[in-house]
Amino acid sequence: MAAAPRRPFLIVNPRSGGGRASRFRIAERARALGAQVLLLDPSRPQDLAAVARRAVDDGADLLGVAGGDGTQALVAGVAAESGLPFVVIPAGTRNHFAMDLGLDREDPSAALKALTDGVELRVDLGYAGERVFVNNVSFGAYAALVQDPAYRQDKVGTTVRILPEFLARHKGPELVVRAGLLTVDRPDAVLVSNNPYRVDDPAGLGRRARLDSGLLGVLAARAETPAETAARLRSGQTHGLTHLATPDDVVVHADVAVVPVGLDGEAVTLPVPVRCRIGPRMLRVRVPRLRPAAAPAVRPPGWGTVRRATSAVRRAVPGRRTG
């Protein structure tokens, strides 16, 4: 059991996850446990990394976030560079990072027990250029999903709506992915993850077996025709999908100066080339001593629906894609 922090600092996003932090009274409960709490004002955007650094300068000995994975990543990067433990309160919409840490996503307030009865884990961090990601960074079709405003509220449904159309008509920058001796030319969709997803989870909606392997996961898809892609996704074939786990940097090149990117579900743009790397065991994560065990990786709910929807491309656009 890790020693309890004396000056924990918690950032709470009251709007994240449809107001989950407010419903579970995260701010009030954290203050009762001795934490200093910053309640974000949605009408006044702040540089959260700068806020976290000021808290460290003021003597905080633990940083935490009650919010989505994008906000978690921003503050986790500061915790890692400061050598402080980090607490995850799953108050976002999907809370993938919390899921892979074995936290209770149905009751985000349960994660506050880490402040009084916690143990410490060492996990990896991903970096895309200078930006930290706790889950994944996506390019091409995957990034197009994140750029869609509906994605935040309905990830699976938006995947169903956009992915077949994207694969049917080439659009977006021409990508090239290099990792060690591997080169993938002109993939339609690329997902680089902080530790690998299962090969049968090409949307990155499922689980990672580990968060401390020191490996980046790479999923890259390119199809000569939409029909080929639809058939592969429906049948679960991996032919035509590049799936890699690597300790090497993964560099994404493009024929443009900047590319749209999905960074832990947040829509951003990054200058090209984008160099992704893994920081082995960079982050000290404090979690409750008693928490739900991480279940074996399973295919994410709704992926069969994605496959069925993608099959519509096969019926509607049987020919070769151009562009």
Residues 1-31: pLDDT tens digits? 778 899 999 999 988 888 899 999 999 999 9
Q: Rounded distance, CA 197 to CA 209, Å?
A: 8
Average pLDDT (105-116) is 95
Average pLDDT (77-101) is 94
- Report pLDDT for 125: 98
- Report pLDDT for 15: 85
- Report pLDDT for 94: 80
- Quick check: 310 pLDDT over 70? no
More confident residue, 153 or 61: 61
In 215-314, DSSP assigns E strands to: 216-221, 241-246, 250-254, 258-263, 266-271, 274-288
Q: Rounded distance, CA 300 to CA 138, Å?
A: 18
3-class secondary-structure state, position 202: coil
- Quick check: 319 pLDDT over 60? no
Residue 302, judged by CB atoms within 10 A of its CB (0-12, 13-18, 19+), counts as: middle
Residues 141-158: pLDDT tens digits? 766 666 555 555 555 454
CA-closest candidate to residue 238, choices 253, 254, 218, 215: 218
- Report whether the peptide linkage leading into residue 273 is cis, meaning its omega lies within 30 degrees of zero: yes
- Report pLDDT for 93: 82
- Report pLDDT for 323: 37
User: Would you tell me how many other CB atoms lie within 10 Å of the CB of residue 314?
Assistant: 19
Q: Model pTM greater than 0.85?
A: no
- Report pLDDT for 23: 94
More confident residue, 309 or 36: 36
pLDDT class of 300 with cuts at 50, 70, 90: very low
Cα–Cα distances in angstroms (integers) from residue 318 to residues 224, 229, 264, in the given order:
11, 11, 34
- Report pLDDT for 302: 37
Mean pLDDT of the chain: 81
The winner for highest mean pLDDT among 61-75, 212-226, 284-298 is: 61-75
- Report pLDDT for 199: 59
Cα–Cα distances in angstroms (integers) from residue 246 to residues 139, 186, 239, 261, 298, in the given order:
18, 20, 19, 21, 22
pLDDT class of 299 with cuts at 50, 70, 90: very low
Residues 168-195: pLDDT tens digits? 554 678 999 999 999 999 888 899 999 9
Provide the 8-state DSSP code for 7.
S
Average pLDDT (123-127) is 98
Average pLDDT (242-262) is 93
CA-closest candidate to residue 250, choices 176, 198, 173: 176
Provide the 8-state DSSP code for 213.
S
